[in-house]
Amino acid sequence: MFPNNNLKEIYEKYREGRLAHAYLIETNNISKLINDLTKLIKAINCPEEYQEACHNCNLCNLITKNNLPSLITIEPDGTSIKKSQIEELKVSFETKPIYSRFNTYIIKNAEKLNGSSANAMLKFVEEPTDGIIGFFITNNKDVIIPTIKSRCQVLVITYESDNLLDKLNITQEELDNYLKIVKDYLKRIKENKIINHKDTILSKLKERKEVEIMFKIIFEIYYNEFLKEKNKPYNKELSNNNELDIKKEEIIHKLNIIAKFLQDLSYNVNMELLLDKFVIEMRW
Ligand SMILES: [Zn+2]
């Protein structure tokens, strides 16, 4: 019934009467997760013995139509989740649900809770009320406000994907920013310019994880050229349009260098030395 083992486990906990009050789920595909989560929410509320895609009961139908008053999904209003949205949720959940077993809330992009909305949210997770269950959904659990995170059961649910944004777990806007840095960087390497890594990369990308994403993108650019060479479907967005002048006979060699760099990066080595070595090898 559940394509995902983590969600199946939550369902089993429910059967044992040991559901947590709040779950924090990190995922690389929020819409897919919401889809699976909806099945879980049906299963724990369905008055019938829940079957895949239950059409028999009113409750499951209401959930499908997004019309169940005791299931509330909150999404960022503009750039953040506002305190007023949380206040409304609280008022709605003051009464016990009529049709369903639980009052359920889903906070989509929970990293967008700002200081005051997170504070308003805290009461729910600090003094949990029986019959209320919450799901905080995010693509990066590391940026969730610690007071909330520490009171949730934390899960990571990863979906396989060919989509670059899912693979890197970043937004389109972030990808565009990375691509700017990457293209400028590869151009400097190509043109044999002196590269001071403190200025070119390390001033812009503060975390090791960000440097890793940047080099994964470099890998994808070269791999994309490889696909192009082989007349395979490739990603137009990553396509280099000759501005980087990647020589086809060098592609495999460069891919190896980039892969080695990514491997070395996972050890705790000096970043600047590693980057210098990378430039020398790429130019050689
Ligand atoms: Zn049902």
For 113, phi then psi, to 5°, come to -65, 125
Asked if pLDDT for residue 108 goes beyond 70, the answer is yes
pLDDT of residue 200: 83
Q: Give the Å distance between the CA of 142 and the centre of ligand 1.
A: 35
Mean pLDDT over 252-259 rounds to 94
Q: Is 233 exposed, middle or buried (0-12, 13-18, 19+ CB in 10 A)?
A: exposed
Q: Give the Å distance between the CA of 61 and the centre of ligand 1.
A: 7
* pLDDT confidence bin for 243, thresholds 50/70/90: low
In this prediction the pTM is: 0.65
Q: Give the Å distance between the CA of 97 and the centre of ligand 1.
A: 16
pLDDT of residue 242: 64
Q: Give the Å distance between the CA of 96 and the centre of ligand 1.
A: 19
Q: Give the Å distance between the CA of 101 and the centre of ligand 1.
A: 12
Q: Give the Å distance between the CA of 65 and the centre of ligand 1.
A: 13
Fill in the amino acid letter for 42. K
Question: Of 28-37, 181-190, 239-248, which range is least confident?
Answer: 239-248
Instruction: Extract the tokens encoding 38.
Output: 């909806």
> In degrees, to the nearest 5, what angle opens at C-alpha 126 toward C-alphas 9 and 81?
85
What is the DSSP-derived secondary structure letter of residue 25?
A: E
Domain 5-157 sits in CATH at 3.40.50.300
Mean pLDDT over 180-205 rounds to 88
* Closest by Cα among 193, 197, 214 to 262: 214
Q: Give the Å distance between the CA of 32 and the centre of ligand 1.
A: 21
Question: Of 11-15, 168-172, 238-242, 277-281, which range is least confident?
Answer: 238-242
What is the DSSP-derived secondary structure letter of residue 96?
A: P
Q: Give the Å distance between the CA of 36 and the centre of ligand 1.
A: 15
Q: Give the Å distance between the CA of 17 and the centre of ligand 1.
A: 19
Q: Give the Å distance between the CA of 237 and the centre of ligand 1.
A: 43
* pLDDT confidence bin for 26, thresholds 50/70/90: very high
Q: Give the Å distance between the CA of 59 and the centre of ligand 1.
A: 6
Query: Residue ranges of the domains in the chain?
Result: 5-157, 164-283
pLDDT of residue 238: 84
Q: Give the Å distance between the CA of 206 and the centre of ligand 1.
A: 49
pLDDT of residue 221: 92
Give the HSE-up count for residue 245: Cα atoms under 13 Å, Cβ half-sphere.
Answer: 6
Mean pLDDT over 174-196 rounds to 89
pLDDT of residue 241: 63
Tell me what percent of the residues of the chain surpass a pLDDT of 70.
98
Asked if pLDDT for residue 122 goes beyond 80, the answer is yes
pLDDT of residue 11: 92
